Structure 1
C-alpha cells in the first residue's frame, strides 16, 4: 500500500486543469470527492481476479494488471463544480452582500455558465486518466445559457425580511453569565446569502464566527439532549444570532443560548 501511495498518491492529489468558457481553472481532486482507494486497489492486485485497467506491475515485483479503485463522491464533485460555475462564465446569481452597517441587493444577470451535470463524467474520466498516466490534457467543460434563479421579487423579500433587519443594529448573544455583541463591523465577516431552490437563505461562516467570539464563552457548558455537558460551539452561537438578527426591538435583539437542552 505504501508503495502504491507513493507512486500514485502524488498523481491523485494533482489539481485538474479545466477550461470553462475560455477561462482556465483548477480543481483539487480531494476537495471534489475524487480519491484513490489504495487499500482496495492493492487487494485487487494481489488477488486472483484482475481487471485490466491500470498496470500496477513492478510495484509488486511481478508484472500484474489491476483495477485502480477510484471512488467518486458525486455530490461533493457537483458542489465543487457549482463553486466553479460561480467564478467562470458570464452568468451571475442574484444575491445580497453585507458591508459595514448596510445590506446591498445585487441583481443577477443571464449569461453562460458551467453545465454541472454534463461535466461530472468528463471530470471523473480526466481524474482517472491523470492517476493512470501521470498527466491529463486540460478538459474543456460544457457551458449552458443560464438565467438567474433569484428574481427581483425574491431579492426584495430577502432584503425586507432578513438583510435590512440584520444590519439595523447590534445583536447580543448570551450564554450563562457571559455575553458578546455583534455589530456593523463583525456581521459582514460572518454573514452571506446563498440561493437555495429560488430563495435566498442566510449562511453563517462558522470559522469567522468562532474567530469573532474567540474565548468569550469559555467555561460555559451546555447540557445536550444526550445528557452530556459540552462547550459552546459556533453552531450554538449561529442559532442564537439568527434569531436576534430578525429582532425588531432592542429586547428581541438580545438572545440567550439555552444551556439546558433537556
Structure 2
C-alpha cells in the first residue's frame, strides 16, 4: 500500500516486484556487508551469506502487502499516513553455528589438532589448549548485530565471548588419520581418467594445494579444495560429459574429480592409484 516503508525505504504504491527491487537496491549492500567480530582481541570478518544471515526482501514485501487488510493501515494510507513494515531477516541456525565453529578453530589461543600437507610430505600438528570463541553464547550476539547492521547501515565491531577450550583431536586420532589417509595419499602420483583424457596429481606440488583435514566431532576428515582442482585441471576434461542422476549430460566437474581422487589416494600400486570417472554411472 501507499505510504509503506521498510527501514526508511518507501516501497508503497507499486507492484510487489518493483518493491523488492527497490528494497534490494537500497538495503542490499548493508545486508551483504561482512560482520566485524572481535574474538580475544583479534578482529575477524564473517560473511552473512556464509553465516546463514540475510534480508529476505520478497518475504518482507509479501508480509507488508498481506497486512493491507488491517483497517487502520488502509485508512492511514488513504489519508496519506505512513505505515512502517518490519524487515524479514531469517536466520539459518545450523549454518550460523557451523560458521562460528569454523571461526572458533582459527581465533583465540586454542588450536585444533590437524594434518598439514606440504610439498612431498604430510605433517601432524597436535592441538593445544587455550581460549577460543564460545560458539553457543555468540549466536545471539551475531544475530542481533546483523539485524542492527541491516537496520542502521552501520557496521560495528561486536565483541564475542571466549571460553577455555581443549582440542578435540587426540594423538590417537592424529595417528589414525596419518596412517589411514595422509601417508598413503602423499606416497605417490595419482592418475584420474575421464573418456580419452587424463590428469595426474602428485605430492610435490598439486596435492598440497588440494588436500587438508578438518576436525568434525573429534575425528579428522579429509577436505578437497574444489577451486584448486579446477585451476589445476586447466580444462583438461573440457568437452567430456557425465550423465548425472537427472538423466542429463553435465561437464566433468571438480566434484567428480574429487570423488575419484578419494579412492586413488588410498591405493598402494600404480593401478590402484589410477581411477576412471564413470561417465554413465546409471
Query: What is the TM-score when the length of structure 2 is the normalising length?
Result: 0.83
Aligned to 1:261, the other structure's residue is in SS state coil
Q: Give yes or no for the alignment of 1:260 onto 2:280.
A: yes
Q: Give yes or no for the alignment of 1:186 onto 2:198.
A: no
Q: Give yes or no for the alignment of 1:86 onto 2:105.
A: yes
User: Which 5+ residue runs of structure 2 have no aligned equivalent?
Assistant: 1-18, 71-79
Q: Report the equivalent of 1:54.
A: none
| Residue number among 111, 128, 136 corresponding to 2:130 in the alignment | 111
Q: Give yes or no for the alignment of 1:43 onto 2:62.
A: yes
Give, in whole Å, the separation in 2 of the partners of 1:231 and 1:4.
37
The worse-fitting range, judged by mean Cα deviation, of 19-28 and 158-167 is 19-28
Q: Report the equivalent of 2:3.
A: none
| Residue number among 154, 163, 170 corresponding to 1:135 in the alignment | 154
Aligned to 1:255, the other structure's residue is in SS state strand
Q: Report the equivalent of 2:238.
A: 218
Give, in whole Å, the separation in 2 of the partners of 1:63 and 1:196.
51
Give, in whole Å, the separation in 2 of the partners of 1:229 and 1:131.
42
Deviation at 1:255, TM superposition (A): 1.3
Deviation at 1:117, TM superposition (A): 1.6
The worse-fitting range, judged by mean Cα deviation, of 128-137 and 143-152 is 128-137
Change (3 A) 1:6 1:250: closer
Aligned to 1:252, the other structure's residue is in SS state coil
Change (3 A) 1:176 1:6: closer
Change (3 A) 1:170 1:79: same
Kindly provide the CA deviation profile for residues 6-64 of structure 1, in whole angstroms up to 9, marking residues without a partner as x: 332232223322211122222222332211122222333342378xxxxxxxxxx7422
Give, in whole Å, the separation in 2 of the partners of 1:30 and 1:92.
25
Give, in whole Å, the separation in 2 of the partners of 1:8 and 1:229.
39
Q: Report the equivalent of 1:198.
A: 218
Kindly provide the CA deviation profile for residues 80-118 of structure 1, in whole angstroms up to 9, marking residues without a partner as x: 212221221011000001111100000000111111121
| Residue number among 16, 24, 38 corresponding to 2:43 in the alignment | 24
User: Which 5+ residue runs of structure 1 have no aligned equivalent?
Assistant: 51-60
The worse-fitting range, judged by mean Cα deviation, of 105-114 and 79-88 is 79-88
Give, in whole Å, the separation in 2 of the partners of 1:223 and 1:169.
30
The answer to whether the Cα contact below 8 Å between 1:45 and 1:64 also exists between their aligned partners in 2 is no
Q: How many residues align?
A: 253
Change (3 A) 1:49 1:151: farther
Query: What is the TM-score when the length of structure 1 is the normalising length?
Result: 0.89
Change (3 A) 1:20 1:259: same
Give, in whole Å, the separation in 1 of the partners of 2:69 and 2:46.
33
Give, in whole Å, the separation in 2 of the partners of 1:217 and 1:128.
45
Give, in whole Å, the separation in 2 of the partners of 1:12 and 1:226.
35
Aligned to 1:179, the other structure's residue is in SS state strand
Give, in whole Å, the separation in 2 of the partners of 1:220 and 1:10.
39
Deviation at 1:173, TM superposition (A): 0.9
Q: Give yes or no for the alignment of 1:230 onto 2:250.
A: yes
Give, in whole Å, the separation in 2 of the partners of 1:181 and 1:109.
36
The alignment's C-alpha RMSD in Å is 2.0
The answer to whether the Cα contact below 8 Å between 1:179 and 1:216 also exists between their aligned partners in 2 is yes
